[in-house]
Structure 1
Amino acid sequence: MKINEHPAQDPFQDPMIEDPILSRITLNLKQIMTDLRQLTRDNDVVAQILYGRALTLKEAADVWRCSDETVRKECKKVAAKRQPIGHKVANRWIVCRERLLDRIEQNEGPSARSIAERRINEMRLRSIAAAADRNPPTPAKR
């Protein structure tokens, strides 16, 4: 079939490519590239901070119930093994919440992870309440 004879019937085929298999592969690759770009944007350090998926060393230590120094050493240790739980930015560690929870589960089991998740939720609620106290709503003007 030539390109201009009639439009492709299959919505998963690229109408500009004659071979149906090649057409499907091309569209799948385009979708994969779109998904990868989104994944990259969602997993960068700024996105982690904005979406509450990043913790400071102190916050990570509070979640793990250990010292800041213990978390820092763990960050360095697992980074050397290419399994980072955080990123060092401007001489400060930013710890990925999910990776920290995974590490806690690996070291201490699923129940320890559940407890750590509860601590994170409590921390976030305290943070939201503190922000509300600092910025009380202003009365509507008439």
Structure 2
Amino acid sequence: MLKLYEFVLQIDRALRNIRTTEAEDDEVSNVDRFSALSTATNKMCFYAAKKKNHSYKEALAAINQLTSKFQELFGRQRTNPRSPAYGSQRNSRVLDPVVVRTKGTTTRLKKSPRNNRKCNICRELGHTARCYPTASNGAR
């Protein structure tokens, strides 16, 4: 089992590898960039929250400033129809899942006639032997 210190070292090593390699413009590198930014900001938030002085307010102000800056850049990018973010949003669709038929009895069609119960005595529809119309008190 990895100790916390070794785990943090492995994350730092992975982040260095991500920073040094050339990032491509596909979904995998997008996830890698997101995880690298998330890890870096988590570390910053950890240390900023520990101090009771102005570091918390300073970190919060910096995060809000950077967020508004990148939202503005992303808004400009979405208005450009040739940008990859604009096209990927338009082409990605979420569909309903395919229903798989299970084992067991087959389903009946709605239009097919239903097999109604027949009387065991006269073989007619509409009643059963328990409630035979001519017999009284269930006697046959």
- The alignment's TM-score, normalised by the length of structure 2, stands at 0.31
Select the structure of larger CA radius of gyration.
2
Which structure has more helix as a fraction of its residues? 1
- The alignment's TM-score, normalised by the length of structure 1, stands at 0.31
